[in-house]
A and B are shown apart, each in its own frame.
Chain A
């Protein structure tokens, strides 16, 4: 197939922002043209991804472009989410109302999209790094959209520092790979030996460079701030697809090595487990809706890393079942997380749009004024918790079955202990369900807790339509998972270079299971509609009679006989999560300012809590402050007088001489 769709998917989004600049006197038209151009590019990208997923390969070595099944797994969600985000922006971030700010945003939005497409379609390290930097820098400018706010400036600076540290690691990584292979082409690097210190060093560099972008646990520190500070459709793109480029890089680079050592897989399993458990624990402790969702990205990246680690172990030990299930689960979770996390961020954007706040404990009762948003958000919440019959269940199930296969194939060897990933995933699933019960309950259910929430209104159609498409995609993958399985097997094959014949038996087994998951999902839907129908029939005569006799029987909620409960008596998000957060007091250190209430008529007082990120706020930031203090001290000492400088010179000379004498 020709490479034209890929070129279009890079060029059209990159140019889309220019329409907004050119037509800035007619803002509505400018934004519409920009959005249409980006969507056209994304549609071309989806064509290319479809070709890659169905076994074709688009390649243009001269241009440094190549799309195989592994690239396509990432290309498809990138195009989908970016296009839907642009449509959402028509209602959420209108150029007509916001002027230059929106023009800038669209310029950088298009560039970010183009950068991501270029990097997943790159066939050599140079094109990859160009795409990587375009994406990273334009995303920095996107984070800076509301640049007047101090919170935004800090988040953007932390992101810029983090992404540059990652880029340095990647430069070193690709220099190392070039030295080993003699070329920057990925095709020439294929088949490098996984043994020896050079390969281990390359893996460590990849883990730092790509792990920083993906947000693996100790390297996640830039993520919550950046995702919370940006407009919601940007958060959706960043959280849904941009951080996945880190996973793509990790897969692309580990795929270059033949027989990677088992230690790589073990390392990823440990990091993934830590990310998953601590990510969801930090999410539980948050009371800012978007920060909470951002920490859930750390959790989901952890689940993806668990699948990837399993697949690496499978390659190290020659177990195709682990490769198919681990990589298949990880790849499907990449797609799934892109769908439901962007759905949730778009939903959070609708809430912020309607109420002007992201603070959970100021919201409540939004299911009434924002009925459609509530339904769509609930679909996303159930999907991210891995509840059947939605897509999150399927990818987690594949990873679970991968762990079970490790137990089955491992016999009495160490490999069998990988099965301990099962209770870890179960714990994560339970905590995530608790966290989203909190989010949905506190934001959409109960009574409004503040004037912000009482004034809420439904989002416009341009914002609801992209969310509806994402929710439909979540349901479709959840109901018919076997339909996407062949594409996942192709991705596993493209990554591992194993013989397709070896991958077929475990794939067939997984497919048989996936069809039965569909059957249970169908029974679940049938049973639910049956019970709902029964309920309606039982209630119909009664309801008619009652309505006639005394009107609807609507009363106050039961509060132990108290007749005038208020919205402030409801359980808050913080109290809901408190029991669980307390279990993680060894990792999370919330700071509460508790006012003292004195006398029979205490004055008005405020209670509030902050949950600092343990790595950034308690580790890196104090370390950086300490380093700056040391540096200033050393500098002052040096500058103070000339005699001291001479003394330093002399001391250095003596030290050098001593070095020469002794050795």
Chain B
């Protein structure tokens, strides 16, 4: 059991850039390109870690602390993540609140680092990020509440644990709604299309990318790695939620990692076939996700 937890934590720290690689490969297949190698994100991180950085004269220690705190917070959230049906390293009633607030801490640190540059563009990006996050937060909590209610537990390990297959038997419609809503939130929280375009090159239209314009070298590596970890966190929850089966440790592990890969491919597909939404449309998408999960919750509460 302990070994399994250690292996899961190792997987959490090692695999995320690969997930990013799968997303990029999917997009290149759709575009008819050969595309970068699957391991390209690792090479990018290694390159950035070896580089120097350029700093704006305006920035202070807040700018330098932003990526450090951001990465540490997302990594700490991994302690609470249950993978493949096995309990997380730490779990307690209400741990998903800590999980969400750790992601909030990472966002707060990134937004402050962006404001520290004194750039109008980065201010704009930070304003958009906190706006959309404050709408995504209730939706995320509602999805997790649906899971908690359906499985009768209050911890992430319980929600994604042995009780999940049974919950699909008794509360399939609600769980399906929650899964759809959670996928929308995952796209928004990880700044993917249709909310934000990670490949855009126009500062005026960016959200997350514009906040990290002035970061370089190891700082940028921490930010990219942290973003990959966050994508993995959401992929892991969705994978277990949709494909969760209780029979056999090995089978459920295999199914879990397959699910994460499928999640990456799905993100790539969405990115290839959809255009980015206009920024004024994004709140409607997020409120829609909230309404969907409120509906799911009411289905279970009545």
**Which of A's residues lie within 8 Å of B, judged by CB?**
364-365, 367-368, 374, 378, 382, 385-388, 393, 396-397, 400-401, 404, 407-408, 412, 416-417, 419-420, 422-424, 426-427, 429-431, 433-434, 436-438, 440-442, 444-447, 509, 512-513, 516-517, 519-520, 523-524, 527-528, 530-532, 534-535, 538-539, 542-543, 546, 552-560, 565, 567, 569-571, 575-580, 583
Contacts and interface: CB of A to CB of B under 8 A. Distances in A.
Interface of B: 49-62, 64-65, 68-69, 71-73, 75-76, 79-80, 90-95, 97-98, 100-102, 104-105, 107-108, 111-112, 115-124, 126-128, 130-131, 133-142, 145, 148-149, 152, 154, 203, 213-214, 217-219, 222, 283, 290, 294, 297, 301-302
A653 B243 CA distance: 85
Contact of A433 (B102, B134, B152, B290): B134
Nearest to B132: A579
B60 A556 contact: no
A427 B138 contact: yes
Nearest to A442: B115
Contacts of B101: 386-388, 393, 429
Contact of B134 (A431, A565, A567): A431
B211 to A, nearest CB: 11
A368 B60 contact: yes
Nearest to B282: A579
B93 A528 contact: no
A531 B72 contact: yes
A385 B133 CA distance: 14
A419 B145 contact: yes
Contacts of B120: 559, 565, 569-571
A553 B115 CA distance: 20
A555 B104 contact: no
B116 A445 contact: yes
Given A426-B137, A535-B218, A557-B58, 12 more contacts: A367-B116, A382-B105, A387-B101, A401-B97, A404-B94, A423-B138, A524-B76, A538-B218, A539-B218, A546-B52, A553-B52, A579-B131
A437 B52 contact: no
Closest 3 CB pairs of A and B: A571-B123, A430-B134, A441-B115
B130 to A, nearest CB: 4
Contacts of A583: 283
B119 A434 contact: no
Contacts of B217: 538-539, 542
B138 A426 contact: yes
B73 to A, nearest CB: 6
A523 to B, nearest CB: 5
A179 to B, nearest CB: 42
B118 A447 contact: yes
A401 B141 CA distance: 12
Nearest to B135: A430
Contacts of A401: 93-94, 97, 154
23 contacts: A374-B60, A407-B148, A407-B149, A408-B154, A420-B294, A423-B139, A427-B134, A430-B136, A437-B108, A441-B116, A516-B90, A516-B91, A517-B98, A520-B98, A520-B102, A538-B218, A539-B218, A543-B52, A553-B52, A557-B56, A557-B57, A558-B56, A580-B131
A374 B127 CA distance: 21
A367 B126 CA distance: 19
A557 to B, nearest CB: 4
A367 B149 CA distance: 46
A653 B63 CA distance: 81
A80 to B, nearest CB: 26
B65 to A, nearest CB: 8
Contacts of A374: 60, 62
Nearest to B59: A557
A445 B104 contact: no
A516 B92 contact: yes
A367 B60 contact: yes
Contact of A554 (B56, B62, B154): B56
Contact of B49 (A412, A538, A554): A538
Q: Is the interface of A mostly helix, strand, loop or mixed?
A: helix
B267 to A, nearest CB: 23
B123 to A, nearest CB: 2
Give the interface centre of A368, A404, A530 by most chain B CB atoms within 10 Å: A404
Nearest to A572: B123
Given A520-B79, A546-B52, A445 B112 contact: yes
Contacts of A569: 120
Contacts of A554: 54-57
Contacts of B219: 535
Nearest to B298: A417
A518 to B, nearest CB: 11
B130 A555 contact: no
A576 B126 contact: yes
Contact of A539 (B53, B65, B152): B53
Q: Is the interface of B mostly helix, strand, loop or mixed?
A: helix
Contacts of B111: 437, 441
B130 A434 contact: yes
Contacts of A434: 130-131, 133-134
Contacts of A412: 301-302
Given A422-B145, A524-B72, A558 B53 contact: no
Contacts of A534: 218
B283 A528 contact: no
Contact of B141 (A385, A422, A530, A553): A422
A577 B148 contact: no
A556 B111 CA distance: 19
Given A387-B108, A513-B94, A520 B80 contact: yes
B104 A429 contact: yes
A558 B119 contact: yes
A446 B90 CA distance: 39
B119 A441 contact: no
Contact of B130 (A433, A446, A447): A433
B115 A531 contact: no
A378 B115 CA distance: 14
B98 A397 contact: yes
Contacts of A527: 71-72, 75-76
Nearest to B94: A401
Contacts of B139: 423
A408 B98 CA distance: 19
Contacts of A559: 119-121
Given A387-B101, A407-B148, A429-B101, A441 B126 contact: yes
B68 A528 contact: yes
B108 A385 contact: yes
A112 B140 CA distance: 44
Given A385-B104, A520-B76, A553-B52, A400 B124 contact: no
Contacts of A417: 301
Contacts of B117: 446, 557-558
Contacts of B104: 385, 387, 429-430, 433
Given A385-B108, A427-B138, A570 B102 contact: no
Give the interface centre of B56, B62, B76, B118 by most chain A CB atoms within 10 Å: B118
Contacts of A404: 93-94, 148, 154
A413 to B, nearest CB: 9
A437 B137 contact: no
Contacts of B71: 527, 531
Contacts of A513: 92-95
A539 B49 CA distance: 9
Contacts of A553: 52-55
B94 A397 contact: yes
Nearest to B290: A423
A519 to B, nearest CB: 6
A21 to B, nearest CB: 45
A542 B217 CA distance: 11
B46 to A, nearest CB: 11
B123 A570 contact: yes
Given A523-B76, A531-B68, A516 B95 contact: yes
A523 B9 CA distance: 13
A535 B92 contact: no
